[in-house]
């Protein structure tokens, strides 16, 4: 470092008006305001999206094609769950116990939010629109 004296630049001098000197923030307050602004920006950025990370999984090869895969075809439980969400009729039989969670024994990442399935199915897994009525006596 050099031994030259330092000059602090105070900015342009503002003339006094008829109402007195212009009000300026003191240097300490300016720094505090800047710090608060930076902290607020970081907080809002960090807390803006606390949702789960989105993984891209193509469900097209498994949906509306009948029984084309079982749990062994998926690397992660979340992938099987995405297929179940896309086709809740579950022709691939990924949700054998009917709890709305596909292939619970598969490894992470997981998606344990159940798929709502409010319909009845027959033995082949086809949806039953109206329950069969017993024959009249």
What are the sequence ranges of the domains in the chain? 56-130
Report d(CA 76, CA 110) in Å as an integer: 7
CA dist list (Å): 19 to 15, 24, 66: 11, 14, 83
- 7-49 confidence digits (pLDDT tens): 666 656 555 555 555 566 555 555 676 777 777 777 776 665 5
| Cβ atoms 112, 102 nearer than 8 A | no
pTM for the whole thing?
0.49
Tokens standing for residue 19: 């109402």
Report d(CA 111, CA 94) in Å as an integer: 13
- 74-114 confidence digits (pLDDT tens): 999 999 999 999 988 888 899 988 888 999 999 999 998 99
Tokens standing for residue 15: 């003339």
Better-scored residue on pLDDT, 130 or 75: 75
Count each helix (H run) and each strand (E run) in the chain, helices first.
2, 2
Tell me what the mean pLDDT of segment 108-123 comes to: 77
Question: What pLDDT does 101 receive?
Answer: 92
């Amino acid at each position: 470092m050099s031994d030259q004296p330092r000059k602090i630049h105070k900015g342009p001098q503002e003339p006094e008006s008829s109402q007195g000197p212009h009000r300026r923030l003191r240097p300490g307050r300016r720094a505090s305001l800047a710090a608060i602004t930076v902290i607020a920006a970081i907080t809002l950025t960090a807390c803006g999206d606390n949702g789960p990370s989105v993984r891209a999984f193509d469900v097209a090869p498994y949906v509306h094609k009948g029984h084309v895969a079982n749990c062994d075809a998926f690397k992660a439980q979340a992938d099987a769950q995405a297929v179940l969400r896309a086709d809740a009729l579950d022709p691939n039989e990924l949700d054998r116990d009917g709890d709305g969670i596909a292939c619970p024994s598969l490894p992470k990442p997981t998606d344990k939010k159940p798929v709502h399935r409010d319909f009845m199915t027959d033995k082949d897994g086809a949806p039953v629109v109206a329950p069969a009525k017993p024959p009249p006596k």
